[in-house]
Structure 1
């Protein structure tokens, strides 16, 4: 682009969808409210997202930043109430209790023993024992959970694929907030590692769900008939995810920012 001498270059106008966030003081701390313009929105709407543990304000096409800020301030008490209801974060550290295949395990540090992570029987339930130095406990527990998730999901996916007589590709694990699994057109499967925290019938249903997409890349009647064939009573697993799925995101190696 050429500019005439003596005339400053014009600065590009910012995108109308890039809106300045709102920062509210709630309970002695600053809470950032992200503003997102939605061309299909009819009104201002607020959401406190349990998984991301954040606040999002949707702005309609003709809404303004000034109105959005005023709306957020007007509903500050509502935001405070919803944030207070979020379950506390649980770090993968000694003393914590975490579900493994739906059963609560108590994390115990065994610094003087050799090995990585193993399970022992305890007086009040199973123990998840971790060897090594204290700074590595959270990472070792996280790695253990992901290995267990990969093993269980691989077994379940291959079993369902054999039942349908379809081929599946590579199986990978992610930590996504919006979906528990996915299936690409090439047959590659991706799952949330957090499914290892849920009861086994939930993990098995998600494997059946994604493998069923190898026959039907949609969510039509034939797809659900295939899911039911692979996983009779899958509705129970879906109900569990609706009620408890968000709580699986409580657990992590590091505290939320």
Structure 2
């Protein structure tokens, strides 16, 4: 397990870090408690886990990591929305890009250097930017999925993108892969890690040793580092383009 203790007090509280969680976990035993509970302390930016006095800290932290989908949803919800507006700076393939609008410019967005320019009516600006990013995401993810599928010697039935609340990718037993379009915002190593992960699922529909071995064989980089980076930046990526 990828975890470490950060600090402790003379009482029953301790602060831990786990590689699968974006925030530290404060573990506290409570007299009379019969089960584990987890909540987000937004002010302190800490996950507060409570449970029985004699609980295993290691087991409690493992349980907290298993709640990571819920945790990521809560973290994303507490971050400010970053709507697509002229002048806003967003990441595209991990590189900061400024959004620009001019009514006289072409309606189809164009990415040139660190500027993503779009023309046409102002009230359709955000929609056109999102459509551009979705199409760019689908094209790149389709190409990289085909690349990894060929290396894994598996048949790929189709690739699509959507905007799921928690998952970055999913694999069906029929051989179809679906990704979050927001991966186009992430650095290339993060995006390619997710692709390698999902293609490995075309061979192994589990997370066992053989799956992990194939995932590492397909990914041309440090899989652990890419996964942890996605954990750190994922909350923000899910707020980009939203208004609430």
**TM score, norm. by length of structure 2:** 0.68
Specify which of 207, 211, 227 is matched with residue 238 of structure 1.
Answer: 227
What is the CA distance between 1:44 and its match in structure 2? 5.5
Structure-1 separation of matches of 2:187 and 2:145: 16
Mapped partners of 2:41, 2:91: distance in 1? 25
1:101 aligns with one of 80, 83, 93? 93
1:247 matched to 2:239: no
Q: Where does the alignment leave 5 or more consecutive residues of structure 1 unmatched?
A: 1-40, 50-81
1:222 to 205, 210, 215: 210
C-alpha separation in 2, matches of 1:209 and 1:120:
31
What pairs up with 1:49-64 in 2 under 5 angstroms?
A: none
Which residues in structure 2 correspond to 1:68-217 (within 5 Å)? 86-121=78-113, 126-217=114-205
Q: Which residue in 1 is equivalent to 2:67?
A: none
In 1, the alpha carbon distance for the partners of 2:202 and 2:106 equals 43
How many Å apart are 1:87 and its aligned residue? 3.0
Q: CA deviation at 1:212?
A: 0.6
Inter-partner Cα distance in structure 2 for 1:44 and 1:230: 37
* 2:106–2:118 CA contact under 8 A, matched in 1: no
- Alignment partners' CA distance in 2, 1:197 and 1:106: 13
Higher Rg of the two aligned structures: 1
Corresponding residue SS for 1:156 = helix
Quote the offset at 1:114 in angstroms.
2.4
How far does the alpha carbon of each residue in 1:107-149 deviate from its partner, in whole angstroms, 9 at most, with x for none? 000210224100234xxxx111011010000000000110111
Separation of aligned partners in 1, 2:187 and 2:117: 21
SS in 2 for 1:91: coil
In structure 2, relative to structure 1, the CA distance for the partners of 1:141 and 1:243 (3 Å cut) is same
Distance (Å, rounded) in 2 between the aligned partners of 1:158 and 1:87:
34
- Show structure 1 runs of 4+ deviating over 2 A: 41-49
* Equivalent residue pairs, number: 178
Equivalent-residue separation in structure 2 for 1:202 and 1:43 (angstroms): 32
Name the structure 2 match of 1:42.
Answer: 35
- What's the TM-score, normalizing by structure 1? 0.65
Q: What is the alpha-carbon root mean square deviation over aligned residues?
A: 2.1
- What is the distance in 1 between the residues matched to 2:127 and 2:211? 38
